[in-house]
Amino acid sequence: MPKFEMPKMEVPEMVREIAEKGVKQAKEGYDKMKAAAEDTTDLLETTYTAASKGATEFNMKALEALRANVNASFDFTTAMFGTKTLAEAAEISTAHFRAQFEALSAQAKELSSLAQKIATETSEPIKTGVSKSFKFSA
């Protein structure tokens, strides 16, 4: 079988410079993509941590409210068993329902504020990261 030999040719300097520039730009692009991927991973970890902490805090507040409401119901039931007249039962019942309405309103307001705070704290790393990414890519 005959061998085909390629003639040795010199690559022009301009072509070599263009190729080197292309390799350099590709490496810079890769480095930027790698840095962005690492930043995104850190961002996701931070966001997950904030969300997890916030969910725990919210659940603890909700359990605290539930405990208070259950205790109030037990106290109401105990007080109702101790009534001797219908008027006394109506008075205790009215006072209990008024107090429960106020307590539930306060609890709802507190849980709503907490949920808003958690949402803000959880989204803050994302907003910062996106802002940083746009500045980085510009």
What is the per-residue pLDDT across 84-122, written as a single tens digit (0 to 9) for each? Answer: 999 999 999 999 999 999 999 999 999 999 999 999 998
Alpha helices in the chain (DSSP H): 13-81, 86-137
The answer as to whether 2 is a domain residue is no
pLDDT attached to residue 53: 93
122 found inside a domain: yes
Tell me which residue range forms the domain holding 118: 29-137
| Residue 24 falls inside a structural domain | no
User: If phi over 0 gives left and psi between -120 and 50 gives alpha, with beta otherwise, what is residue 53?
Assistant: alpha
Contacts of 69 (CB under 8 A, 6+ apart): 100, 103, 104, 107
Domain count of the fold of the chain = 1
Any domain includes 9: no
**In whole angstroms, what is the distance from residue 22 CA to residue 59 CA?**
55
What is the per-residue pLDDT for 105?
Answer: 97
The residue type of 57 is E
Look up tokens 């805090």; give the residue.
57
Among the listed residues 124, 103, 108, the one whose alpha carbon sits nearest the alpha carbon of residue 49: 124
Residue 77 lies inside a defined structural domain of this protein: yes
Cα–Cα distance for residue pair 46/43, rounded to 1 Å: 5
Residue 20 domain flag: no
- Tell whether 17 is covered by a domain: no
Distance, CA of 42 to CA of 52 (rounded, Å):
15
User: What type of residue is 54?
Assistant: G
Q: Is residue 46 a part of any domain in this protein?
A: yes
Predicted confidence (pLDDT) per residue in 22-74, tens digit: 999 999 999 988 988 888 888 888 888 988 999 999 999 999 999 999 999 99
- Residue 1: pLDDT over 70: no
